[in-house]
Amino acid sequence: MSDGVPLTVEGVSKRFGDVRAVDDLSFTVAPGRVTGFLGPNGAGKTTMMRILLGLVRPDTGTATVGAVPYAQLTRPLRVVGAALEGGGFHPGRTARHHLAIVAREAGMPTSGVDALLDRVGLTDAADRRVGGFSHGMRQRLGLATALVGDPGVVLLDEPANGLDPAGIAWLRQFLRWMAGDGRTVLVSSHQLAEVAQGADDVVIIDHGRLVRQQPLADLLASSGPRVQVGSPDTDRLAAELVSRGATATVVGPAELRVEGATAAEVGEAAARIGAVLHRLVDDHSGLEQAFLDLVGPDSAVSEPRPEGPS
């Protein structure tokens, strides 16, 4: 395996016609950590990844892999592995042939193909045409493709799309294993829960601009405690909580959402004023909410991905 090196994006902008896909974007991705690259659909994640990989040329700015632009790497697949959306497979080719061809192009021996297939659990499907593969199988083949050159840097574009819950759990382990070996791992996703348990750092973008780059733990901490409250005394309870410095929003009949107070504090407040509680639940959708707060609910609504670059 080659050493994990940092990815550096500096002032990158890219327009497609009138669409500003990436807008003066700068961030870094550190080796040995899993970095979630987050943003709603159409935020510019795929375009940015393709710029990092030399497939799309930025209008301005630089994107480098260990200080070298991708296109200038001498043996790129030994440094960087990538799995892009759609996979880039010929539907008429078998998984084994696909990997053997990539290995040849990378100047690697084709003898490693069996081990790769085994690594991603595709041994049984090795000689089937990719056209008949399920979404999950394609994702696995994409991962195997990324690992052909045993690279120190791995970029995965929406690798969890189409995976079932078991597949997502498997993917998280896979990401941990890769980062544990010191690799630089950048994983894009528009779904947050799947990343919450897997990432060390997050880079959040929206409309092509950087919204936040920080360790995931900091992001979760900054979003503060949240509690869902079921009570027939919503108005009185809300007033009491607000007087204690929390934010309380009536979100339905007999339903409150509280920010800035723990479940225990809400319970105490209710006891003090004699309000009835039906339900008191810690809200663990921290990342989801933090994300919505950062990018706004409008853009976070999943829209069908438009044709072409996002």
Half-sphere exposure of 309 (CA within 13 A, CB side): 22
Q: Which is nearer to another protein, 153 or 256 (CB)?
A: 153
Q: Which is nearer to another protein, 38 or 56 (CB)?
A: 56
DSSP 3-state assignment of 36? strand
Is residue 227 a contact partner of residue 263, using CB atoms and an 8 Å limit? yes
Q: Which is nearer to another protein, 27 or 70 (CB)?
A: 70
CA dihedral sign of residues 190, 299, 209, 295: negative
Least distance to another protein from the beta carbon of 71, Å? 4
Alpha-carbon distances of 213 from 20, 51, 200, 298, rounded to whole Å: 20, 19, 11, 21
Distance CA 101, CA 267 (A): 63
Least distance to another protein from the beta carbon of 70, Å? 6
Least distance to another protein from the beta carbon of 223, Å? 34
Helix count and strand count (H, E) for the chain: 12, 14
Least distance to another protein from the beta carbon of 206, Å? 20
Alpha helices for the chain (secondary structure H): 45-52, 76-79, 95-106, 113-119, 135-146, 165-180, 193-196, 216-222, 234-243, 263-273, 286-295, 297-300
Is residue 146 a contact partner of residue 85, using CB atoms and an 8 Å limit? no
Q: Which residues bind another protein (CB under 8 A)?
A: 16, 47, 50, 53-57, 70-73, 76-77, 80, 82, 84, 86-94, 97, 100-102, 104-107, 145, 308-309
List the structure tokens of 241. Answer: 């909580």
Q: Which is nearer to another protein, 172 or 183 (CB)?
A: 183
Least distance to another protein from the beta carbon of 82, Å? 6
CA dihedral sign of residues 44, 50, 54, 56: negative
Q: Which is nearer to another protein, 86 or 180 (CB)?
A: 86
Q: Which is nearer to another protein, 180 or 308 (CB)?
A: 308
Least distance to another protein from the beta carbon of 307, Å? 10
Least distance to another protein from the beta carbon of 168, Å? 24
Distance CA 153, CA 124 (A): 28
Q: Which is nearer to another protein, 124 or 307 (CB)?
A: 307
